[in-house]
Amino acid sequence: MAGFTREVAYRIFAHELKDTSVALERDLENAYAPQYVLTPTGAKVNRVFIVGTLTETEDIGTDTEYWRARISDPTGTFFVYAGQYQPDATRVLAEASVPEFLAVVGKVGVYTTEDGNVITSIRPETISVVDAPTRDRWVLETARQTIDRIKRLEDGSSENLAMVEEHYSLDLEQYRQMVASALESMR
Amino acid sequence: MIQETSEQIRKRFLELNVEIESSEIERRLRDLIERFKVPASEAERSVVSYFLREHNIKREDYYSTIEGASSTQIADINESGQWVNLRAKVVQLWESTSPTIAQVGLIGDETGTIKFVKWAKSNLPTLVEGKSYSLENMTTDEWQGRFSVKMNRTTRISELDEDIETPDREAHLVTIDSIDESGQWINLRAKVVQLWESEHESIDQVGLIGDETGTIKFVKWAKSELPALVEGKSYSFENLTTDEFDGRFSVKFSRNTSIEELDEEIEVGFTATEFAGAMVHIQEGSGLIRRCPICNRALMKGTCMEHGNVDGIHDLRIKAVLDNGSAVQEALLNREITESTSGITLDEAKEMAVDALDQSVVLDEMKKRLLGRYYTMTGRVLDRYLLVESVLPMEAITHSEIDALLAEVT
C-alpha cells in the first residue's frame, strides 16, 4: 500500500524497558496512528525485537487461554502477554519449555497501576525458539544501538532529546553501566 | 478569494500605519468584481488606489516592498533564509502532501524555475497554473543543495497582466539513475519491467520501467489517453515529468507525453544490495503456493485473478521482512533460495501438505525455523522487495566485537 511503512523493531534491553514510563499521545486524527513509548535513552518505540531466556510461563486466563511469560536478558526481565488474538504466539508459549531461548517481535504497551506504578509489557506478533548464537548476536546488537542512542542524547543530535529531558532524569551513566554489564556477561 | 485579497490590502495598509475596516475593503472589491465584473487584479488595484488617495499615501510607498526583501530572479537565489520578491509564472502545481501546505509546485521566470511552498496558515489567495504573479516577501529555503521559496503570512501576491516567459521546458534524454529532482521534464528510453494493478480509476497504468542504470515507478493517467504499454517491451518516452514521494522518485505520463515502441530491447540494470538483520515477519502468500499455469501468477484460494479456476502448479517462496533496528527491508526468496534457507525442498513440502491435509503446515514450519534469526541477504531491489540471490546466516559473535563495544562504555 502506498504511504504505509512498517514500524521498525527497536532493540531495547529489559532494564531500559522496565524504566520506560512514558506513553506518547496518539495522533487523534488518525485512527491508524501507532502508539509509541519513549524510552530513557530516547528511542520512540512502537515495536521491539527481543531475544532472551524464557524463565516462566503461566496461563492466567479465566475463560480463555491468556499466557504470561517472563523472558530475561542479561539486564532484567521482559513481560510478554499473549491470548486469543495472538494464536501463533500463544501456541508457542503453551508448548515452550523453561528455560529456552525465545525471540519475540511485538508491540510495547504501558499501563499505570492503581498505586501509580508504570508497567511495560510486550504483546507478541511472533515468537520463535532460537539458539544461543542468536541470543548473543542480539545482546551485541542491542548494546550497539543503546550506546548509539546514549551518544546521540549526549551530543544533542537525538531528535527526541527535548522529550527525554522533559520526562526523564537524563542520568545516562546507569544505562552505560547496564550496557557494560550485559557485555561483560557475554565474555 | 475576495476576503483573502481584502485581508492582504488591510495588512499592507496597517504596515503603513493606516487602519481600514476589512468589511469596507471587501464591500468595494465585491462591488467591482461581482457587480461590475472587473477582473480581480484590476479591482484590487482600483480599491488600493481609492484608499491611497483617501489617506494621502504615495503609490510608491504602498507598492514598495518591506525593508529586507529584495527583488531578484530565480537563477540568483543561492542562499537560504533570504527575503525575496519575484515576478514569476506558476509552471506546475503538485499535490500537497501535508495539511500544513496549501499549495506546492514550481514557479518560473526568465532565468529558471524553483519549487514553492505556500503554507496553509498564510491565508494567501490561490495560485493558478499558467498565470503570472508578483510575489513579494517570500523566504528562501534550501534542502540538500536545492532551493525553494516559501510563501508566508506576510507574503503579498498580485496577479500580473503580462505573461512571464519561462525557459523552454525542453525535455532532455536522461538515464534513470540520474533522476534526483521532482518537477523535471525528461525523456527516457526504457523497458516496461512490471505492470501493477491500478489502485485508482484515474490511473490507467502503473508499474516499473527500467534502463541500463536502474528502475523507476511510472504512473500513466487515464486522462492522458496514451496507448497501453506492454510488459517486456521497450519504448522511447518523451516529455515525462518527475515526481518524488518519501524520497522515492517516479515518472508521470501526461497528455504531452509521446510513446514510441523500440525495435531494440533495452537491458535493465540493477544494483546489488545487501541487507543484514533479523527476520521479524513472514508475509501471507509464503510457503507452499500454487501458480497459474498460463501467467505464472500466484493463485488466491485456487483462483487466478486473470484466468479464473485453474489447475495450479506448486511452488515455494518466502516473502520475508528483515529488520536491523533502524530500517526494514522486505525480501522475496524464490524456490531455490527458500529451499536452501529453510532446509525444506518442494517435494518435502508437498509431502508435508499431503500428510497434514493442509498446505499451511509448510508455512508454519518455515516460520518456526526462520523467524527471529539473523541473516545477511544480497540481491537487487525491485520497488519494495529485495529479490534475494544469496542468503548467509549471521556469524557467531567474537570476543573482539564484545571488547570493542565495552571500550566505548567503560
Give yes or no for B360 touching A (CB within 8 A): no
Residue A4 placed within a domain? no
Residue B400 placed within a domain? no
Task: Report whether A178 contacts A16 (CB < 8 A).
Answer: yes
Is residue A78 helix, strand or coil? Answer: strand
Pairwise CB contact (< 8 Å): B325 & A49: yes
Same domain, yes or no, for B110 and B141?
A: yes
A4 pLDDT higher than 80 = no
Residue A71 placed within a domain? yes
Helix, strand, coil percentages (3-state) for chain A, rounded to 5, are: 30, 30, 40
CA dihedral sign, ordered B149, B150, B153, B159:
positive
Same domain, yes or no, for B130 and B224?
A: no
- Give me chain B's average pLDDT, please: 88
CATH number of B128's domain = 2.40.50.140
Give yes or no for A54 touching B (CB within 8 A): no
Q: Is the peptide bond before A74 cis (omega within 30 degrees of 0)?
A: no
Is residue B362 helix, strand or coil? Answer: helix
Strands in chain A per DSSP E: 9-10, 22-23, 37-38, 44-45, 47-59, 67-73, 76-82, 101-112, 118-129
Higher pLDDT, B60 or B87: B87
Same domain, yes or no, for B307 and B384?
A: yes
How much of chain B exceeds pLDDT 70, in percent? 96
Same domain, yes or no, for B373 and B299?
A: yes
Give yes or no for B400 touching A (CB within 8 A): no
Same domain, yes or no, for B92 and B202?
A: no
A2 pLDDT higher than 60 = no
Sorted by sequence, the CB contacts under 8 Å of residue B64 that are 6+ apart come out as none
Instruction: Look at the block and give the residue holding cell 544461543.
Output: A132
Task: Report whether B137 contacts B155 (CB < 8 A).
Answer: yes
* Cβ-count burial B350-379 (b if 16+ within 10 Å, e if not): eebbeeeeebebbbbbbbeebbbbbbebeb
Same domain, yes or no, for B289 and B376?
A: yes
Say what the pLDDT of residue B144 is: 67
Average pLDDT over residues B350-376: 95
Same domain, yes or no, for B197 and B238?
A: yes
Task: Report whether B314 contacts B305 (CB < 8 A).
Answer: no
Is residue B299 helix, strand or coil? Answer: coil
Residue A159 placed within a domain? yes
Residue B235 placed within a domain? yes
Q: Is residue B65 very low, low, confident or very high in pLDDT (cuts 50, 70, 90)?
A: low
Residue A3 placed within a domain? no
Instruction: Give the CB-side neighbour count of residue B324, counting CA atoms within 13 A.
Output: 13
Is residue A129 helix, strand or coil? Answer: strand
Segment 61-90 of chain B within 8 Å of chain A by CB = none
Same domain, yes or no, for B59 and B112?
A: no
Say what the pLDDT of residue B271 is: 67
Residue A143 placed within a domain? yes
Size of interface A-B (CB pairs under 8 A): 98
Count of structural domains, chain B: 4
Residue B376 placed within a domain? yes
Same domain, yes or no, for B304 and B376?
A: yes
Task: Tell me the three cell numbers of residue A7.
Answer: 514500524
Calculate Rg over the CA atoms of chain B: 30
Tens-place pLDDT, residues B74-93: 888 888 888 899 999 998 88
Pairwise CB contact (< 8 Å): B409 & A2: no
Task: Tell me the three cell numbers of residue B306.
Answer: 486473470
Same domain, yes or no, for B180 and B101?
A: no
Is residue A159 helix, strand or coil? Answer: coil
CATH number of A68's domain = 2.40.50.140
CA dihedral sign, ordered A119, A148, B390, B397:
negative
| H/E segment holding residue A136 | helix A132-154
Residue B222 DSSP label: G
CA dihedral sign, ordered B333, A129, A148, A154:
positive
Cα–Cα dist B109/A166, whole Å: 47
Residue A40 placed within a domain? yes
Instruction: Give the CB-side neighbour count of residue B45, counting CA atoms within 13 A.
Output: 9
Average pLDDT over residues B159-173: 80
**Closest to A128 (Cβ–Cβ): which among B246, B368, B406?**
B368
Cα–Cα dist B70/B136, whole Å: 9
CA dihedral sign, ordered A11, A12, A14, A17:
negative
State the distance between the two ends of chain B, measured CA to CA, in whole angstroms: 65
**Closest to B372 (Cβ–Cβ): which among A2, A51, A184?**
A51
Q: Which residues pair with B385 in a beta bridge?
A: B330, B382
| H/E segment holding residue B242 | strand B234-245
A3 pLDDT higher than 60 = no
Task: Tell me the three cell numbers of residue A56.
Answer: 516462566
Tens-place pLDDT, residues B241-280: 898 876 778 999 987 788 999 998 998 887 678 999 999 9
Count of structural domains, chain A: 1
Same domain, yes or no, for B181 and B222?
A: yes
Tens-place pLDDT, residues A101-152: 999 999 999 888 888 788 899 999 999 999 999 999 999 999 999 999 999 9
Q: Which residues pair with B189 in a beta bridge?
A: B236
Pairwise CB contact (< 8 Å): B401 & A126: no
Q: How far is CA A87 from CA A55, A56, A106, in A?
A: 21, 19, 13
**pTM for the complete prediction?**
0.61
- The domain containing residue B180 runs over which residues? 172-261
Rounded to a whole number, what is the distance in Å from the CA of A39 to chain B's nearest CA?
15
Residue B188 placed within a domain? yes
Same domain, yes or no, for B176 and B224?
A: yes
A15 pLDDT higher than 70 = yes
Cα–Cα dist A175/B332, whole Å: 38
Residue A176 placed within a domain? yes
Sorted by sequence, the CB contacts under 8 Å of residue B237 that are 6+ apart come out as B187, B188, B189, B190, B209, B251, B253, B257, B258, B259
Residue A187 placed within a domain? no
Say what the pLDDT of residue B342 is: 96
Average pLDDT over residues B381-399: 89
Pairwise CB contact (< 8 Å): A184 & B406: yes
- The domain containing residue A93 runs over which residues? 9-182
Rounded to a whole number, what is the distance in Å from the CA of B39 to chain A's nearest CA?
40
Q: Is residue B283 very low, low, confident or very high in pLDDT (cuts 50, 70, 90)?
A: very high
Low-confidence winner among A23-32, A137-146, A160-169, B122-131 (lowest mean pLDDT) = A23-32
Give yes or no for A53 touching B (CB within 8 A): no
Is residue B367 helix, strand or coil? Answer: helix
